[in-house]
Chain A
Amino acid sequence: MRWLAGRVLAAVAVLWGAATLTFLTLHLVPGDPATVLLGGAAATSSGLREQVIAEYGFDDPIPVQYLRYLGRLLVGDLGESYQQQLPVTTVIGEQLGPTLQLTATATVVALAVAVLTATATAGRRLPGLRGLTSGLELFALSLPAFWLGTVLLAVFSFRLGLFPVAGDVGPTSLVLPTLTLALPIAGILAQTMRDGMDAALQQPFAVTARARGLSDLAVRARHALRHAMLATITLSGWFVGHLIGGAVLVESVFARPGIGRVTLDAINGKDIPVVTGVVMLSALAFVVISGVSDVLYRIVDPRLRTD
């Protein structure tokens, strides 16, 4: 319980840090905050500026503004996108679905590919097979998403016409974006997993399991895989970063709706409230994932359970 309380406290601290940083950014960039907030929308309407100043209380002292800002965050109010004339929560909420869909399928595919290649190649004394797979993994993890996406599009959509070119039109339109996002991740995961599995298969308990009559594959699946998962959980933070960053690129290459597109548009159009919202969302995602991975560690490795 103390452990959980500590985790929650740390999570709150991270979110508070992210919120404070975005608040500081708004006030430290050149120009007055109202203009910055309005971004491209400033020129269109003269009354808007006064409305923003009144709404945010930019005439108040900074500490008062800061506390009010934190108070609004607490109740889930991320402010308003003046360019889209919508609350930021609505802008992000509407686009969250497609992104979650993409990142979830990419996670599943990456894990599946990694588990399969690691299980098939760990501890094998076939230099050809090992060299080939680790070469492919290295290739996959070095691929930039925009390049891989473009190539996949060129081959499977334009040449072969197997998948739709762009947009979100049913399950088939998810295939190429998912692969683009998943392959580099699978490359790294497979390498760490095989490393963990190699180490586990070297351990005496692996031989003991064989001596009980288990097949080689069963030793991998029932014993070594759990050990390999430990190394993989360590990477979950990097994993989330890669998913979020990758989603921005993939969504724009495939012209898919989603948070990535929202972010890109917001940055290009200087729609600061939306950018702030996305930053807070990413911080939340990191905090949640690191909490989840801590719990996963305890599930996979009984030695870490303190009770």
Chain B
Amino acid sequence: MNPGENGSKPAGRARGGTLAPAPAPAAEPTVLLDVAGLDVRFGRGRRLVHAVRGISLQIRRGECVAIVGESGSGKSVTARTLVGLAGAGARVSAERLALAGTDLRSLSERRWRRIRGRRIGFVFQDALVSLDPLRTVGAEVAEPLRVHRLLPARRVPERVAELLAEVGIPDPARRARQYPHQLSGGLRQRALIASAVAADPELLVADEPTTALDVTVQAQILDLLQAMQRRGTALLLISHDLAVVARLADRVAVMKDGRIVESGPTADILAAPRHPFTRELIAAVPGRKPPPPRPAAVGPAIIEARGLHKRYPTPGGGEILAVRDVSLTLRAGETLAVVGESGSGKSTLGRLLLGLLTPDAGTVHLDGEAWSGVPERLRRPRRRHIGVIQQDPLSSFDPRLTVEQVVGEALRAIGVPAARRRDRVVELLEQVGLGAGVLRRSPARLSGGQRQRVAIARALATGPRVLVCDEPVSALDVSVQAQVLELLTRLRDELGLAMLFISHDLAVVRQIADRVLVMKDGRVVEAGPADEVFTQPSAAYTRELLAAIPRWETPDSRPVELSANEIGRSTSR
């Protein structure tokens, strides 16, 4: 600890609510961050991971630069290296690594601390775990002010309330006294941004700032970041989602396997990508092209739900209506998407259809026979007809089992003799695009896409007629997302499956759904063929959702939701 380290700086730097930027040498007036030949390595010998391989990057004052790449591309490590927090055991080297003339390469820990939070602010993804759950929101936002001794202690609460108000948090004084778990995801992310900009840094680094958020909230956070940039803060945006950064970034760097494979002005990259990987990324952004029209589903109804209601008690003694009067019919060979934001009741609806919850009112029929309200003993032999695929397959696998055991377990449940299981597992794995090579692997050691394929194989093992997919691609990178969606569509058509597709992501739904139910507060606010819902939405809420989808226009691909977009802008803004 070094008390008094910053004590020599005048405490009353703040004037009129904004803090003056820290003094910077005048050598490079425009380039704020200058990185050249940056290398980051972890481990040694056979365990060596070369996470970042000689990347170069420049950010000017007031500019927004984005690094786009998939998980494992080294983009987050790059971001963290900029604040000297690449991680334990990281070895960093660079030809140039400078912030406004300050060489960051050989900084002592003490001098790093004067840069972190003060000159470079950092916003991490998922504010639920990026804010300390045991401390008030106000204490977290105040931390940079206190650490860098920017204000006398008695003026801190006032400044915290100002900061919270600046990021658009209503009733800031009360919110400052609350704890992170008492705030919604969007408010938490705003509070996290408030804490990152509290000391008025010259550069704000945001690592996947909107990944865990609903589309409408995501749009608000992006607006907020844009406002920060307009006020003169340089922005480095890290994302796996090209559509998100396209709205904000002046320049984009596409990263793959630790290297920047392509970089340039955003418009140029999107319009004329040169590197195949960039093209792949752009093609993978869901919902950019409408799927080819399919003949209307003609299969028989597999699931029929009528007037479903479900209530949950709340801690205060009240109750919330999670699902209110929802009816739906799901036919063989069609995909019915249930769309809504968190808390809309879409997952509860899925669990009602799976027979994991009992409806308070209403009925579910499976194959024309009663499914809800039937004793579990009678229902169990019929469970094989409904398969389920969840967002995070890893937590639905027993971590000690191999892929063969995971899938084999489902086969055993329907009475396939042990001798025949191995062959059947291999068949199933081939059906989902995996080979016998993964049989003995642990699911934990597979990639996210491979894991989801194993989950699909397991769901198919019992020969289901219905697949209930709850956010099946939300945890995946966009290019993997596209492959898994393709697989699901193919399986639906080949096997004549009825598919219920629960998702918060309209762009994904656009790609796969035949019909769409839009849910809000437990109610269905709009239902109809996907084409109609996306091009001529009737409910105001649907238009709001559609308007919030990040998108861009390029000459060769007319933005497909153009009409919805315009309606949305005129009604919701």
Q: Give me the interface of A with B, judged by CB distance under 8 Å.
A: 125, 203-205, 207-218, 223, 226-227, 300-303, 306
Q: A204 near B134 (CB under 8 angstroms)?
A: no
Q: How far is the CA of A217 from the CA of B143 in the complex (A)?
A: 15
Shortest CB-to-CB span from B144 to chain A, Å, is 5
Closest A residue to B114 using CB positions: A213
The residues of A that contact B83 with a CB separation of less than 8 Å are: 210-211
Residue B133 lies at the interface, judged by CB distance under 8 Å to chain A: yes
Question: Does more than half of chain A's interface fall in helix, strand or loop, or is it mixed?
Answer: helix
Q: B179 near A303 (CB under 8 angstroms)?
A: yes
Residues 112-151 of B at the A interface (beta carbon under 8 Å): 113-118, 120-122, 124, 126, 129-136, 143-144, 147-148
Q: A208 near B179 (CB under 8 angstroms)?
A: no
Q: How far is the CA of A303 from the CA of B128 in the complex (A)?
A: 13
Closest B residue to A125 using CB positions: B88
Q: B113 near A214 (CB under 8 angstroms)?
A: yes
Q: How far is the CA of A125 from the CA of B196 in the complex (A)?
A: 28
Q: A212 near B143 (CB under 8 angstroms)?
A: yes
Residue B13 lies at the interface, judged by CB distance under 8 Å to chain A: no
Contact of B135 among A214, A215, A223 (CB under 8 A): A223
Residue among B134, B135, B179, B195 facing the most chain A CB atoms (10 A cut-off): B134
Given A125-B88, A125-B89, A223-B132, verify A212-B116 contact (CB < 8 Å): yes
A-B CB contact pairs (8 Å), 9 listed: A125-B88, A204-B126, A209-B143, A210-B83, A210-B85, A213-B199, A215-B1, A223-B132, A226-B134
Q: B135 near A213 (CB under 8 angstroms)?
A: no
The residues of A that contact B132 with a CB separation of less than 8 Å are: 205, 209, 223
Q: A207 near B124 (CB under 8 angstroms)?
A: yes
Residue B192 lies at the interface, judged by CB distance under 8 Å to chain A: yes
Q: A213 near B118 (CB under 8 angstroms)?
A: yes
Interface size class, chain B: 35 or more
Residue B555 lies at the interface, judged by CB distance under 8 Å to chain A: no
- 4 tightest CB-CB pairs across the interface, nearest first? A213-B117, A212-B117, A211-B122, A302-B179
Seed contacts A210-B83, A306-B315; 5 additional CB < 8 Å A-B pairs: A205-B129, A213-B144, A215-B1, A216-B109, A302-B181
Q: How far is the CA of A62 from the CA of B459 in the complex (A)?
A: 66
Q: How far is the CA of A205 from the CA of B132 in the complex (A)?
A: 5
Closest B residue to A301 using CB positions: B134
Contact of A214 among B80, B121, B126, B147 (CB under 8 A): B147
The residues of A that contact B147 with a CB separation of less than 8 Å are: 212-214, 218
Q: How far is the CA of A212 from the CA of B115 in the complex (A)?
A: 9
Shortest CB-to-CB span from B132 to chain A, Å, is 4
The residues of B that contact A213 with a CB separation of less than 8 Å are: 113-118, 144, 147-148, 199
The residues of A that contact B109 with a CB separation of less than 8 Å are: 215-216
Residue among A205, A214, A303, A306 facing the most chain B CB atoms (10 A cut-off): A205
Given A215-B113, A217-B1, A306-B315, verify A208-B192 contact (CB < 8 Å): yes
The residues of A that contact B148 with a CB separation of less than 8 Å are: 213
The residues of B that contact A216 with a CB separation of less than 8 Å are: 109
Q: B116 near A204 (CB under 8 angstroms)?
A: no
Q: How far is the CA of A216 from the CA of B85 in the complex (A)?
A: 11
Q: How far is the CA of A300 from the CA of B132 in the complex (A)?
A: 12
Shortest CB-to-CB span from B521 to chain A, Å, is 24
Closest A residue to B148 using CB positions: A213
Contact of A207 among B85, B115, B117, B134 (CB under 8 A): B85
Shortest CB-to-CB span from B360 to chain A, Å, is 25
The residues of A that contact B126 with a CB separation of less than 8 Å are: 204
Q: How far is the CA of A218 from the CA of B135 in the complex (A)?
A: 14
The residues of A that contact B113 with a CB separation of less than 8 Å are: 213-215
The residues of A that contact B117 with a CB separation of less than 8 Å are: 211-214
The residues of B that contact A214 with a CB separation of less than 8 Å are: 113, 117, 143, 147
Closest B residue to A208 using CB positions: B130
Closest B residue to A224 using CB positions: B132
Shortest CB-to-CB span from A257 to chain B, Å, is 42
